[in-house]
């Protein structure tokens, strides 16, 4: 499969938004608020300090994407790149698209020069994704992930009662 990997541009926002919604539904059974996701995608695409998206194109159609955000590590005097919002269209899966996206991430990190490593979080029951990440050299860490949302933050569609 001939695939082109490139940095996303504003014109990719709608497809990235759709991918984010599909990923949340497939992996966590969560329905995201479309307008909020689109605004979030726009925010990242127009504020490079937040990170960037890479997209995979096949025959001029975007078939996969991922987002990179950063975390400063004072222990390493370098930046971790967090791989997030990974999605490949179902018909394009198991064809090496994520592998190509991740190779592009690593190449860009090498060019940048201050990236000390890569991190991601994966849904605990998504065994297929975990296997892919292991095959690409990633390892489970000794850390658990905790979070607390600020009061009033809404990102899911209202559930019918």
In a domain, 99, yes or no: yes
Cα torsion 134, 66, 39, 59: sign: negative
Q: How many CA atoms lie within 13 A of 53 on its CB side?
A: 30
What total of structural domains would you count in the chain?
1
In a domain, 32, yes or no: yes
Q: How many CA atoms lie within 13 A of 154 on its CB side?
A: 7
Cα torsion 90, 18, 85, 123: sign: negative
What mean pLDDT is predicted for residues 49-78?
97
Higher pLDDT, 58 or 158: 58
In a domain, 55, yes or no: yes
Question: Can you give the pLDDT at residue 159?
Answer: 60
Question: Can you give the pLDDT at residue 50?
Answer: 97
CA angle 89–90–96, rounded 5-degree value: 75
Question: Can you give the pLDDT at residue 1?
Answer: 76
Question: Can you give the pLDDT at residue 161?
Answer: 46
In a domain, 151, yes or no: no
CB 119 within 8 A of CB 137: no
The neighbour count for residue 79, using CB atoms within 10 Å, is 17
In a domain, 71, yes or no: yes
In a domain, 61, yes or no: yes
* Residue pLDDT, tens place only, 116-151: 999 999 988 889 889 999 999 999 999 988 988 888
What mean pLDDT is predicted for residues 19-34?
94
In a domain, 130, yes or no: yes
CB 90 within 8 A of CB 63: no
CATH of the domain at 48: 3.40.630.30
CA distance linking residue 63 with residue 58, whole number of Å: 7
* Residue pLDDT, tens place only, 99-108: 999 999 999 9
In a domain, 64, yes or no: yes
Please give the residue range of the domain that contains residue 21.
4-135
């Amino acid at each position: 499969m001939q695939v082109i990997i490139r940095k996303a541009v504003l014109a990719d926002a709608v497809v990235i938004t759709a991918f984010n919604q599909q990923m949340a539904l497939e992996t966590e059974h969560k329905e995201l608020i479309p307008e909020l996701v689109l605004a979030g995608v726009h925010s990242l695409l127009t504020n490079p300090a937040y990170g960037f998206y890479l997209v995979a194109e096949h025959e001029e159609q975007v078939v996969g994407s991922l987002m990179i955000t950063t975390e400063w590590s004072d222990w390493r005097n370098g930046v971790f790149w967090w791989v997030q919002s990974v999605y490949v269209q179902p018909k394009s899966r198991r064809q090496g698209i994520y592998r190509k996206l991740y190779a592009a991430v690593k190449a860009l990190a090498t060019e940048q020069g201050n990236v000390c490593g890569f991190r991601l979080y994966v849904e605990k029951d998504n065994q297929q994704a975990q296997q892919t990440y292991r095959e690409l050299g990633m390892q489970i860490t000794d850390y658990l992930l905790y979070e607390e949302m600020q009061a009033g933050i809404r990102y899911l569609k209202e559930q019918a009662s």
